[in-house]
Amino acid sequence: MTYAASTEPLYRLPLGDWVDTAIATITSTFDGFFDGVKTVLLGGYDGLALVFTGPPVWIVALVLVGLAFWTKGWKLAVGALVGFAVIVGVDQWENAMATLALVIVAGAIALMIAIPLGILAARNDRLSGALRPVLDFMQTMPAFVYLIPTVVIFLTGAVPGIVATIVFALAPGVRFTELGIRGVDSEVVEAGQAFGATPGRILRQIQIPLALPTIMAGINQVIMLSLSMAVISGLAGAEGLGRDVVAALARVDVALGFEAGLGVVILAMYLDRMTSALADRAPVSRALKLAAV
Amino acid sequence: MTALRAEGVFKVFGRRPNEAVRRLRDGASREDVAGLGTAAVIDTTFEVTPGEIFVVMGLSGSGKSTLIRMLNGLVRPTAGSIILGEHDLAKVSAAELRDIRRKRVSMVFQHFALLPHRSVLDNAAFPLEISGVDKAERRRRAAEALGMVGLDGWEDSLPSQLSGGMRQRVGLARALAADTDVLLMDEAFSALDPLIRSEMQEQLLELQQTLGKTIIFITHDLNEAMHLGDRIAMMRDGRIVQIGTSEQILTEPADEYVATFVADVDRTRVLTAGSVMVRPKAVVFAAAGPHVALRQMRDEQVSAAYVVDRNRKLLGVVRDQDISAAVRLGPVALVDLTRDEVSAVSTDALLAELFAPAAETPLPVPVIDARGRLVGVIPRVTLLDAMTPTTAEVAVVDPATDPSDAYPIAVGPDLDTELDDLRLTTTGDPR
């Protein structure tokens, strides 16, 4: 047989070794920085987790249902109430709240980076060109691969999960923001310029409001990706629904897997409907809807 | 005095604009420099006087949009200068440019460019908000501007609730609220339905009568250009090929391009009575007697004459048969035989307004000046002649070869006099 030769490849690029060395160097060099990051992220996550899990279940659930009613209406509120009842019924409430805290912390930080980056990319073609391959890389790299270096740097727990989630969820936030700003009718931007508006005012009063529906769609994507990554973070030992999913996988426990998985689905639907409802509440979307009536 | 002056302005988009400008100055064509960049505007020079409507007319790709955007610095010229007041827009800093835009020049856009999430009032107040005018004052001035364009009562609506014509009125009100001397209008009415468009044109002319702004209006519609423009600049391939009044462009086109372009224009809405009228042949002073009038008519071979007073003020028309009938009965004054039924037109009446008077009477239409003096006449032939473009061949249909054609396209220039001759023979010699 001739296949024996395949054990000796023609050449071998030691890319993996290089990354490994790089991560090791980074870890030892920026130790203090990473400690700082860890403290901040952990502080935010623990604080939020306490808010969600500290008070009695019914109070937290009612607040979340109330938010649903305020953003969308009674239909979403009823749906959320039923969903949360199911989560409580399968004893996944604590896990769901831990996951929610992780999603919110990671999603918020991802957006704080992604939106300004998207605005800069919309104004600078060179930056936009440089960002594109980086964003492609971030979005297509298998999600749990991010967990490996973050575990090396931050050890196990919620923090590697949060960091990996931020990296993974960043890309659509940047992309949608850039797309939204670039898509604003150039004549309206010209109008701002023609009446002597400063670039800052044009950004604040014309570009961002007009791009808001698209940016909100980006926010929705960031949140949804954060949730999917938060579940994978269970592999790194982050608390929440993900950890039970991983445990169920390891023990081939169909029952637990289904219950924890259902919790993820319900949480995903809640977050998706909430963020799309927020997009519909953008002033521009509302103004255009008025015209259709 | 000039409100705005452009001198040798070039705009080349592309990699090597300055090199392209150098070659264009040396006589290269737009195609020659295509490898260096796109020459949108080439060596353009013009002046706009305060209070005039200056129309830049050209087809798409002629560079007119780039040109108007250089007049408020949205596009910076590659070479040349644009003088607005004491500033050269090609040289000012970004901060100075913003100041000029706030105080000196505002703009109306083709697709209105309103902020969809702001009310009509807040849209109109936007330039004042940018200038830092306080809220009460800017709302008051915006409401006033909306009133000028006839949008009272719509202040709290959103742009999306308005029709296209109303939205552009908001765009116009916004520019008026900024209260600048110079108003740039970029294909402002092109996106509107024809009916709404002419309505807006009338409104603009009406507003202009009271406001007296300096308006630079871009259009690709020649009829619109001729209707609105005090002067028109014809643009082609980045260059201005002719600047003149609509009548000049219509009657003395600078080149073949302009000539073919104006061939389609509805000339009756551009040319005025004053520009086509001819010297009246049969004119008698009221003080002269009936016999003088008759002799003059016979000399000119016509059957009627216009009667004017000592100051050449038009009194009416007198017909040969009336005179012949009257003189048989005894002496009579010419004034008593004069009929005042003729409908005279003023010198600035458009040809379109002349058809009704011309149809009422077989006589040429008399043209009077502001003081009522007879300055010329327009025979029907002249009227028909004026409607035919100077360059176009006049098709002659011979009725003999085509008897089914009841309406010959061309009439002989002597038709009127032939008819008059006929009448003279039937009336006979009064003496």
Q: Tell me: the pLDDT tens digits for A37-68?
A: 888 888 888 898 888 888 888 888 899 999 99
Q: What is the pLDDT of residue B280?
A: 82
Residue B418 has pLDDT above 60, yes or no: no
Residue A103 has pLDDT above 80, yes or no: yes
Q: Do A196 and B117 touch (CB under 8 A)?
A: no
Q: What is the pLDDT of residue B400?
A: 41
Q: What is the pLDDT of residue A2?
A: 52
Query: What three-state secondary structure class fits B214?
Result: strand
Q: Do B101 and A283 touch (CB under 8 A)?
A: no
Per-residue pLDDT band for B427 (boundaries 50, 70, 90) equals very low
Residue A196 has pLDDT above 50, yes or no: yes
CA–CA dist A72, B5 (Å, integer): 57
The strand order across the sheet containing B182-186 reads: B105-108, B182-186, B214-219, B53-57, B231-236, B239-244
CA–CA dist B18, B154 (Å, integer): 49
- Mean per-residue pLDDT, A232-249: 86
Question: Considering chain B, what is the average pLDDT of its residues?
Answer: 83
CA distance from start to end of chain A: 74
- Mean per-residue pLDDT, B13-18: 90
| A116-131: pLDDT as tens digits | 999 999 999 999 999 9
Burial of A25 (0-12, 13-18, 19+ CB in 10 A): exposed
B220 contacts B59 by C-beta, under 8 angstroms: yes
Residues 6+ apart with CB under 8 A from B219: B55, B56, B57, B187, B189, B190, B225, B228
Residue B413 has pLDDT above 80, yes or no: no
Q: Do B109 and A190 touch (CB under 8 A)?
A: yes
The strand order across the sheet containing B345-346 reads: B345-346, B365-368, B374-378
Is the CB of residue B295 less than 8 Å away from at least one CB of chain A? no
Q: What is the pLDDT of residue B389?
A: 64
A211 against B407, higher pLDDT: A211
Q: Which of A15-24, A110-119, B227-236 has the lowest mean pLDDT?
A: A15-24
CA–CA dist B129, B137 (Å, integer): 10
Q: Do B74 and A194 touch (CB under 8 A)?
A: yes
Residue B201: its H or E element: helix B194-211
What φ, ψ does residue A276 adopt, rounded to 5°?
-70, -35
- Compute the nearest-CA separation of A185 from chain B (Å): 8
Query: Considering only residues 196 to 255 of chain A, which have any Cβ-Cβ distance to chain B shorter than 8 Å?
Result: 196-198, 201, 205-206, 209-210
Is the CB of residue B156 less than 8 Å away from at least one CB of chain A? no
Q: What percent of chain A has pLDDT over 70?
A: 96
ipTM confidence: 0.77
Residue B398 has pLDDT above 80, yes or no: no
Strand partners, B11: B41
Query: What three-state secondary structure class fits B364?
Result: coil
CB-side neighbour CA atoms (13 Å) of A172? 18
Length of chain B: 431
- Mean per-residue pLDDT, A255-268: 90
CA–CA dist A284, A184 (Å, integer): 12
Q: What is the pLDDT of residue A291?
A: 63
Helix axes A125-140, A93-123, angle to 10 degrees: 150
A280 against B96, higher pLDDT: B96
What domains can you pick out in chain A, each with its CATH number? 14-292 (1.10.3720.10)
CB-side neighbour CA atoms (13 Å) of A116? 5
Q: Do B161 and A290 touch (CB under 8 A)?
A: yes
Q: Which of B17-31, B161-175, B395-409 has the lowest mean pLDDT?
A: B395-409
Residues 6+ apart with CB under 8 A from A65: A77, A80, A81, A84
Residue A107 in tokens: 């999603």
Q: Do B158 and A291 touch (CB under 8 A)?
A: yes
CA–CA dist B135, A215 (Å, integer): 30
Residue B177: closest CA among chain A residues belongs to which residue?
Answer: A195
Q: What is the DSSP string of A19-62?
A: HHHHHHHHHHHTHHHHHHHHHHHHHHHHHHHHHHHSS-HHHHHH
CA–CA dist B345, B361 (Å, integer): 13
CA–CA dist A194, B107 (Å, integer): 7
CA–CA dist A179, A207 (Å, integer): 11
Per-residue pLDDT band for A209 (boundaries 50, 70, 90) equals very high
Residue B287 has pLDDT above 70, yes or no: yes
| B232-281: pLDDT as tens digits | 999 999 999 999 998 888 888 888 888 888 877 777 877 888 878 888 87
CA–CA dist A42, A48 (Å, integer): 10
- How many CB atoms lie under 10 A from the CB of residue B359? 10
Per-residue pLDDT band for B282 (boundaries 50, 70, 90) equals confident
- Mean per-residue pLDDT, A98-127: 93
- Select from A194, A197, A201 the Cβ nearest to the Cβ of B72: A194
Residue with tokens 């009612």: A62
CA distances from A146 to A114, A117, A164, A183 (A): 18, 21, 5, 32
| A70-80: pLDDT as tens digits | 988 889 999 99
Residue A150 has pLDDT above 70, yes or no: yes
Burial of A39 (0-12, 13-18, 19+ CB in 10 A): exposed
Query: Considering only residues 129 to 148 of chain B, which have any Cβ-Cβ distance to chain A shorter than 8 Å?
Result: 130-131
B331 against B82, higher pLDDT: B82
Q: Do B158 and A191 touch (CB under 8 A)?
A: no
Query: Considering only residues 54 to 73 of chain B, which have any Cβ-Cβ distance to chain A shorter than 8 Å?
Result: 69, 72
| B304-318: pLDDT as tens digits | 888 888 888 888 888
B393: which DSSP letter?
Answer: P
Burial of B295 (0-12, 13-18, 19+ CB in 10 A): middle
CA–CA dist B4, B363 (Å, integer): 47
- How many CB atoms lie under 10 A from the CB of residue A141? 12
User: Which amino acid type is present at position A74?
Assistant: W
- Select from B106, B111, B161 the Cβ nearest to the Cβ of A194: B106
- Compute the nearest-CA separation of A183 from chain B (Å): 14
Q: Given 3.40.630.10, 3.40.50.10700, 3.40.50.300, 1.10.520.10, which CATH number is that of B4-104+180-265?
A: 3.40.50.300
Q: Minimal CA–CA distance to A290: which of B215, B400, B120, B238? A: B120
Residues 6+ apart with CB under 8 A from B282: B296, B297, B300, B302, B304, B305, B306
Q: What percent of chain B has pLDDT over 90?
A: 39
Question: Considering chain A, what is the average pLDDT of its residues?
Answer: 88
Is the CB of residue B100 less than 8 Å away from at least one CB of chain A? yes
- Compute the nearest-CA separation of B35 from chain A (Å): 23
Q: Minimal CA–CA distance to B280: which of B305, B303, B298, B315? A: B305
Per-residue pLDDT band for B93 (boundaries 50, 70, 90) equals very high
Instruction: Return the ∠ at Cα B173 (arms to B170 and B177), rounded to 5°.
Output: 140
Residues 6+ apart with CB under 8 A from A86: A262, A266
- How many CB atoms lie under 10 A from the CB of residue B296? 16
Residue B13 has pLDDT above 70, yes or no: yes
In this structure, are strands B38-48 and B79-84 parallel, antiparallel, or unpaired? unpaired
Fold of B274-427: CBS-domain (3.10.580)
A218 contacts A176 by C-beta, under 8 angstroms: yes
- Domain ranges, ordered by start, for chain B: 4-104+180-265, 274-427
- How many CB atoms lie under 10 A from the CB of residue A186? 10
Per-residue pLDDT band for B302 (boundaries 50, 70, 90) equals confident
- Compute the nearest-CA separation of B271 from chain A (Å): 36
CA distances from B58 to A93, A151, B200, B218, B241 (A): 69, 66, 20, 8, 10
B353 contacts B263 by C-beta, under 8 angstroms: no
| B353-368: pLDDT as tens digits | 888 888 877 788 888 8
In this structure, are strands B239-244 and B231-236 parallel, antiparallel, or unpaired? antiparallel
CA–CA dist A74, B122 (Å, integer): 33
Q: What is the pLDDT of residue B425?
A: 37
Per-residue pLDDT band for B85 (boundaries 50, 70, 90) equals confident
Is the CB of residue A35 less than 8 Å away from at least one CB of chain B? no
Residue A6 has pLDDT above 60, yes or no: no
User: Which amino acid type is present at position A187?
Assistant: E
Is the CB of residue A265 less than 8 Å away from at least one CB of chain B? no
Residue with tokens 């108003």: B183
In this structure, are strands B214-219 and B53-57 parallel, antiparallel, or unpaired? parallel
